Structures are given as C-alpha cells and as structure tokens.
Structure 1
C-alpha cells in the first residue's frame, strides 16, 4: 500500500472523489420559464437560478433567440434554450414603454386596453414557444426535475404539463395578474380585511372601502379569469388535452413562492404549499465603486438620498424631470439618481445622475437617509432589509398597493408621480428625513424581517430541492381545488338544511293548524247544542 504519507494522500483523494460523486449525483436539472417582459420578474427568477447553480444544480432558461447572446454573456452559469419569437418580445417591450410613459395618467379604458394588448402579445409569444417542436423535443430529452415560472406568464405552467405531466411545477410571484392562484390553491378570501390586489386599501377598511373591495374583487376576478381563459384555453386544449383549461393546468402547481412578508404585507389566510419569500432579491452587500465611494462620504452628516424608479422607467417627460431636479437641488443631502435621458436644466450640484446604480449597496450604506422609489417589490424589500425610510411615487401594477403597505407600516409617505410639485416632493423628503419616527420604524421592521431561521432565498431553494427530491406534493394541496363551487360554498348543505328546516316548520305549522281546527270545531259544536 506504500508509506504512511502515500496512504494519507490516497485516503484524501478517495474522500475528495467521493465528495465529487455525491455532489454530482445531487445535481438536478431545473427549467426556468421567465416572462419576455418586466426585468424585475426575470431578476427574481435569475437570482433563484444562481442560488440553485451554487448548490450544484443545472439551470436551463427558455428565451427568445434575439436576446440569447446577451443573456449568455450576463449569465454564463446558465444554459439557454432559444426559439424564434418573430419579433413578439420587441413589440411587447415597445408597448410596455408606452404604458410606463403614461402611467398615472391613463384612464380605466386605456388600462384595460393595455392589459388586453399585453395579454395578447404574451399569448402570441407562448404560442410560438409551444409550436417550436425542436425546442420542445430538446426540453423533453433533458428530463427536467422541476419547472419554475412566473404566473404573470401562464405559459410556464402550460409548458410544464406539455413536457411531462409528472414534472413538478413551482410558481414564483408577487401577485397573479389573472388571479388564478387563489382558486388554484383553494385559498379562502375574506374580503372584510384582505384588500383586492388592484386597490390601495389596507387591512383596516371603512364600510365604503369594504363595499368597493367586494365590487373590485368580483369584477377583477371575472375579468382576470375571462382574459386568461380567452387567451390560453385554446393553447391548453391543443397541447395538453381537450378537457383541460388554463385554470386546471395552473391548479397543478405544487408550490407557490410568494414574494411577500408579513412584516410588510398584511396577514391573510394561506395554504401549506404557499411559502413567503419576500426579500429573496436582497444580496450580499458589496463595496461601492471608487467613484461612488468618493461621492457618498462627501455628503457628511447630512447623508445621501437614493432615487430609482426601476428598470422600466427609462426616461421622463421634460415636466417631470424638472420637478424632480428642482426638489433635489434644494436638499442639503447628496442625491444619487438613477436616470437615463436628457439632463435636467435645473439639476443641482448635489445630484449625481447614473444610468445604473448599485441600489442594494447604496441602501446598505450608513449615510443613506431615504429611498425615493416607485414602490416596486425588489427595491421595497431592499429598503426594508436595510432599514431605510421611503418616499413612494407608484406608477402602475402592484405599486400603489405596495405604497399603501409602506404608509400603513409607518415606513414612509406616498405621493402622486404625475401631479406632484417640486415643493410637495421637497417637503415630503424633508418630512421623512427629519422625522425620527420613520427611521425608528424602519430600523425596527428591519430587525423583524431579518430575524428568520432561514433567509428568503435559502427558504426558496429548500422548497425547490424538497420538490425535486419528493416530486409532486398532493398532500400539500387543499381539496378545495377539486370541489365544484356549490360544494366549496356548502350550498348543497345549505339547501339540504333549508329543506329540513322547512319540512320541520311546515309539519309543526300543519300540526298546530290541525289541532286548532279540531279544538275550534269541538268548541263550535258545544255552543250550537247549548
């Protein structure tokens, strides 16, 4: 066997090889199906994918061929399967840019038209994806252990069932725009304190707000389900089965990973397969770049204000950018503003414009005093994690509801993006920065949010690996998913009980009437004989 040192080297080599083999055997294949638009949605999925790669798994992403090269450069750890979308994604992005440009000013009619146009574009993208037989064959050959998608793009659930009905499906989301998740998970929805996602109500509603909440929920569910059915039921029947619908396919989802946290979001009923992972986008803090490291400390005791309206807001109108620039110029703090476009004429010397900024790293910096945001989910949770008060100017989607939660928790204030004046914005920032209650609340909620047995990302990865290990999880799905509506609401029981009560009361009434008539007849006979 050789000398002692040789035996030790041989033993170490065997242990190392055993580790590699064991690590290799635990590596599974994961398929990500991201929406073709909304970078924030891709951001959440990609970070989950990166965490899975770090655990030794193989992550494959389905994207259009037009952005394949860019994605491969940005994410070299992922594998990509591409298809020709015939320019659908580019058109979707153009429509999205227009929607963002009129956010806050569009009418209800324009909103519905935009939603329908966006859904139609997503359906076309999905149709081209599913129709690519070469792509589907390659994906089937890969034999994935789990498919992860965002319900904003229901095609992920359809593709999962199309590849193999036995492959588990996991949804990652903040909110389902089609509202299919509530029925799919069998989730009870007490509208007395659960605000409809399309409103900015809190869990404390007045009578009028509860009335509006009920009406909004009924109409919202009807419209959402109708749009989803009209767009995707035909695809489901074509690729899954004649008896299937988008609702039935979505209901096969094994685990729902919600980007929520009760520290910020309002408590509501949940199901065993619904897991909160709010804040999974928060990363390790990296040192600032040399340029930023020179700018931020120069703010002194006054500190820094971080401004970002997300990746979708690429430019601002001349009126809006001058309003913001004028308000920032009056501040004693330094301002770091993520901004792309023509430089505002009223830009102050205290304001630094950047096409991209290290948002998480800046929010973690001790000199950061406030975060001016559109109340997008990712930025909101980064600010929560680092304990930074917020000034919210929501634009569309779930952002008004997110801003309502920030205000309700005492984390900041809310303004109207399209109508706010420079004076109003300046006073709001001053109020948040100088009023110590906002910082105290942000610090307290940050401690609550951080104090968890697992980080949100660790929890998400644990559940994904749990699904990979055990496959489909029917024991976590509520039976409510399979019940017809009249059974779910106990209408059959109510009708039966009503029938029994009616029969008993009817019998009692008839009996009393019968005895009364008999008694009256006997009394009448006696009187006549007398």
Structure 2
C-alpha cells in the first residue's frame, strides 16, 4: 500500500508548478481587514516566501514583531479613527441613534459616515505623502527587489506604493475606497446588481431599480468628493496625469473575497480569483472551561453572539433587550460582550471579552449565530453550516445580511426597534429544525466546500503565478485606459447619429427642392 501512495505523492510534487522563494511586500488595512490579510501572510510564509509588512506606528492590530514577516514601521502622527475601538464605539452609538430617528434621518446618517471616511482617507493619504518624501525608505524598498505587492485597496495607499516602485499589484479586495470592487472592474448593470447601502437583492421592481440608481449616484459622489481627493493630491504631486482609480483598475490580479454561494451572480473578468472564505478552517478544540460550558447545554445546544473586531459593545438598552431574550432560551449562550454586565442576564449566558469564533461555530453543539453581518463571520458560518440571526449595525453589514436572508439562511432584525418578544421569537425560529434556515445554510455549506481547490489554495496558486511571470497583464482588460465616452461607445453613437441626421437632412432638402420645382412647373402651365 505504501509504494503506490509514495509514487502518487511524488507524481503530484513533480507535476505541481513550482515557485522559488519570492519576496512579497504587503501593505494591509488595519482592523478586521488585517484579520484575513494576516492569514494570507502566514500561508505565504509557510510556503517559504519572504514577507515584508508595511505598518504605521499607530497600528492597532498589525504587530511590529512576528515570526511570519518582517515589518517596516512608518511614523504616523495622527492615527486613523477606525484604529480606535473607543472612537468606533462612539461612531456606532451615534449611527444607531440617527437610525432610530426614522427614514428622514438618512442624510444625517450619510453625513456621519462621510465625515468618518473623509477623515480616515486624509490621514492615510498624508502617510503615503510622507513615505514618498522619505528617500531613504523608498530606496530601501526599491533595493529589496520585491516580486509583487499585496494590498487591500479600501484605503489605496498600497496601490500608490506599487505604482511608485513599479511592482506587480495583487489586490486582496472586496471593497474599494468608494464601494464594491466589481463596479470598478466589470460591467455592472444596475438593473440586477445592488449598490452598496441599497439593502436590495438581485430581484428588483421598478421603484427598487430607481432606488439602486440613486445609490449608484451616491457612490459616485462618495468617490469624487469624499474618498478620492486626498489621494488624487498625492498623484498630482508625484505622478502627474495619473488617477487612483486607473491604478486600481490596472492591478494584475484581484483576489476577491467573494463566493457566489453568498454574493449575487454578476459579470466578472479573467484576472479575478474568487477566494471568499479563504480564512475559514476546521474547528480546533475549545479551552477546557469553555468546552465544559458548551457541553452543559445538553441536547439544546449553544447560541453564539459576536459583533466582530471593531464593535464590541452596544447601547445598554439594546444589551438589556438581547440579554432578556437569551434568558428565555433553553440553549446556552456564549456572547462576546464589552461594557457593563446587563442586569437581565440569565444563568444560561456566558459573557466573554474575546471568543474563539471559528472554533465555536464548528462545534457540533452550536445551533445558531447572532451576528452583526461582518463578512469574515458570515463566511465562517457558511463554512460550518450555522444559521444566522442578523443585527446589522453600520457599513456594509445590512447589505451582507440581505444576501444571507435572500438565501433563506438568516433572519434579519432592525437593532433600533429591537424588542424582547420579537427577538425571542426570531431566535426560536432560527433554532427550529422544522423551519428551513438550518437546512438552507447546510446546503450553502455543501456548495461552498464543493470546489476543485480550496479558496486558500487558489489564492496561493495565483499569487505564485504572478511571481513566476512578473505579473498577469494578459488577463487584464485595457478598458480602464479608455475615456469614459469611448468605453460606452458614445463617440461612435454620436457619429452614427450625426450621419443619420445628415442623411435625413439631405433627403429632406432634396424632397423640398423637388417639391418646389414641381410646384413651379405647375404654376407656369397654369399661366
């Protein structure tokens, strides 16, 4: 038995395309975005590649010292506000307060969001500007002879660095500085592709399509007046005639954190590799105390609640409602909660300031996941087949939960109108084996796992592909180099319309002349 197995293993190793140890420069985004970028960094290190991570001195999550990478720390006077949990908690509270004021408060909600985005983009752009003026740093980066740069373009500092160093560019992406990544890359008909913040599915009636069109206008406004100007100023200073969006569109490879068991189908491009859920992994054993608590749930099982990396605590009133609903359940509850202990907390609920989310979701006794709708958590729930109760709060979370609700794997509630009775009933519905939520999520999980390569293997293959070939220009469309009017063939349509108009005028003039001549002859005959 051993000989055939060894022969098969040697054959696989021999036929597998090799890649010598490469040098990878990583410019990450902090917070939850670093959570999945770090997993890619660790995987690249495990494959023998040398990884260097650019981080700011105010970084919240990106450690200066790691066995998996060498870091270069850039001094930053002003930290990004999203790097402060205290600031983000305040931003969350303000956003929830505005939402509770009703639909007419939408302008205040977006003003609050735009202020946050504008300030953070300005801080990042100033950091990049100071990097480019630091000749010693840029010379050090150039002399390192990196094979590619891997970055997250939601804050496109890494995109500018790649252009400065003339390196092949790989994006670990779902969001850009002004919306969802596909909108900058592939044809995106608004008739069935929902825009960010629209809270729509891919099945829209007339009024919904009108709403989606208006949200697209909001995205354009956000790009041109909120997010892009600080970076365009950097481009004008160091790369005259270049704009950030074209640099993003010119990336060699897009590692898109999307799986179509979650995302709605849409047009795509050859240089997009779908790696949604690449951060997911089989569950590991729980710490003994937590395992004992989970096992004590008996046949009823466990409910998990977490609000992700940036958001740990809610308004005390909302926490009291959630605690009361949990206390009514026969299940045990593990809740990642920051802040004061709710007075209505039941004996069945354990509060933790951190929890091993993936390992809990993969535990056989886990029955449901109460989530804010962060992408990482949703993919872990899909990976392990755990149905969802969504309490979306800010950013893309509502849009994410709309997708899970459309798949029949989640119930979504408005956190601003949360009541104990409605929350309790929603929890019971998600937990009820007779209702479709669990089976629908298990079906999504089977689809997610049924792939020729795991998302991580696909990501690593294509990263090494770019290293082997010095880029992937043959997969990249050149449409981004075209003027907008040429991309939409407006110049061709204008020419054809002009020719048609000229032909009609010629015919009209000819007919008028003939008519006048005929009328003139008739007058002569009558005389």
* TM norm structure 1: 0.89
Which residue of structure 2 lines up, in the alignment, with residue 295 of structure 1?
293
**Against the structure 1 CA distance between its residues 69 and 316, is the aligned structure 2 distance closer, same or farther, given a 3 Å change threshold?**
closer
Which residue of structure 1 lines up, in the alignment, with residue 428 of structure 2?
430
Which residue of structure 1 lines up, in the alignment, with residue 71 of structure 2?
80
Q: Distance in 1 between matches of 2:383 and 2:175?
A: 20
Q: What SS does structure 1 have at the residue aligned with 2:37?
A: helix
Answer with 473-482 or 383-392: which moved more.
Answer: 473-482
Which residue of structure 1 lines up, in the alignment, with residue 170 of structure 2?
170
Query: Does the aligned pair in 2 maintain the 1:180–1:225 contact within 8 Å?
Result: no
**Against the structure 1 CA distance between its residues 177 and 496, is the aligned structure 2 distance closer, same or farther, given a 3 Å change threshold?**
same
* 1:467-498 Cα deviation digits (max 9, x unpaired): 11111322222121111111111111111111
1:159 is displaced (CA, Å) by 1.1
User: RMSD of the alignment, in Å?
Assistant: 2.4
1:181 is displaced (CA, Å) by 4.8
Which residue of structure 2 lines up, in the alignment, with residue 4 of structure 1?
none
Which residue of structure 1 lines up, in the alignment, with residue 251 of structure 2?
253
Query: Does the aligned pair in 1 maintain the 2:277–2:376 contact within 8 Å?
Result: yes
Answer with 137-146 or 442-451: which moved more.
Answer: 137-146
**Against the structure 1 CA distance between its residues 487 and 25, is the aligned structure 2 distance closer, same or farther, given a 3 Å change threshold?**
closer
**Structure 1 moving runs of 4+ over 6 Å:** 22-25
Query: Does the aligned pair in 2 maintain the 1:92–1:121 contact within 8 Å?
Result: no
Q: Distance in 2 between matches of 1:25 and 1:264?
A: 32
Q: What SS does structure 2 have at the residue aligned with 1:366?
A: coil
Q: What SS does structure 2 have at the residue aligned with 1:486?
A: helix
**Against the structure 1 CA distance between its residues 459 and 123, is the aligned structure 2 distance closer, same or farther, given a 3 Å change threshold?**
same
Q: Name structure 1 gaps, 5 residues minimum.
A: 1-18
Query: Does the aligned pair in 2 maintain the 1:370–1:390 contact within 8 Å?
Result: yes
- From 84, 100, 125, the counterpart of 2:92: 100
Q: Distance in 2 between matches of 1:206 and 1:300?
A: 46
* 1:419-451 Cα deviation digits (max 9, x unpaired): 311222111111111143111111111111111
**Against the structure 1 CA distance between its residues 129 and 393, is the aligned structure 2 distance closer, same or farther, given a 3 Å change threshold?**
farther
* Larger-Rg structure: 1
**Against the structure 1 CA distance between its residues 257 and 216, is the aligned structure 2 distance closer, same or farther, given a 3 Å change threshold?**
same
Indicate yes or no: 2:5 matched with 1:28.
Answer: no
Query: Does the aligned pair in 2 maintain the 1:30–1:57 contact within 8 Å?
Result: yes
**Against the structure 1 CA distance between its residues 46 and 326, is the aligned structure 2 distance closer, same or farther, given a 3 Å change threshold?**
same
1:125 is displaced (CA, Å) by 3.4
Q: Distance in 2 between matches of 1:69 and 1:379?
A: 18
- From 414, 417, 429, the counterpart of 1:416: 414
Which residue of structure 2 lines up, in the alignment, with residue 55 of structure 1?
47
Indicate yes or no: 2:325 matched with 1:323.
Answer: no
Q: What SS does structure 2 have at the residue aligned with 1:270?
A: coil
Number of matched pairs = 501
Q: Distance in 1 between matches of 2:87 and 2:177?
A: 17
Query: Does the aligned pair in 2 maintain the 1:303–1:368 contact within 8 Å?
Result: yes
**Against the structure 1 CA distance between its residues 310 and 514, is the aligned structure 2 distance closer, same or farther, given a 3 Å change threshold?**
same
Which residue of structure 1 lines up, in the alignment, with residue 145 of structure 2?
143
1:26 is displaced (CA, Å) by 0.8
Which residue of structure 2 lines up, in the alignment, with residue 41 of structure 1?
33
Query: Does the aligned pair in 1 maintain the 2:177–2:227 contact within 8 Å?
Result: no
Query: Does the aligned pair in 1 maintain the 2:114–2:222 contact within 8 Å?
Result: no
1:150 is displaced (CA, Å) by 0.7
Written as runs of structure 1 = structure 2, the 5 A alignment for 1:341-360 is: 341-360=339-358
1:182 is displaced (CA, Å) by 5.2
Which residue of structure 2 lines up, in the alignment, with residue 393 of structure 1?
391
Q: What SS does structure 1 have at the residue aligned with 2:431?
A: helix
1:25 is displaced (CA, Å) by 7.6
* 1:257-312 Cα deviation digits (max 9, x unpaired): 11111111111111111221110110232112211221112211211111001011
Written as runs of structure 1 = structure 2, the 5 A alignment for 1:179-198 is: 179=179, 181=181, 185=185, 187-198=186-197
* TM norm structure 2: 0.90
1:242 is displaced (CA, Å) by 1.8
Q: Distance in 2 between matches of 1:449 and 1:465?
A: 24
Q: Distance in 1 between matches of 2:83 and 2:335?
A: 27
Written as runs of structure 1 = structure 2, the 5 A alignment for 1:463-474 is: 463-474=462-473
Q: Name structure 2 gaps, 5 residues minimum.
A: 1-12, 99-108
Q: Distance in 2 between matches of 1:479 and 1:109?
A: 35
Query: Does the aligned pair in 1 maintain the 2:199–2:399 contact within 8 Å?
Result: yes
1:510 is displaced (CA, Å) by 2.6
Which residue of structure 2 lines up, in the alignment, with residue 125 of structure 1?
127
1:516 is displaced (CA, Å) by 3.2
Indicate yes or no: 2:374 matched with 1:382.
Answer: no
**Against the structure 1 CA distance between its residues 77 and 137, is the aligned structure 2 distance closer, same or farther, given a 3 Å change threshold?**
same
Q: Distance in 2 between matches of 1:429 and 1:179?
A: 32
Q: Distance in 2 between matches of 1:132 and 1:69?
A: 24
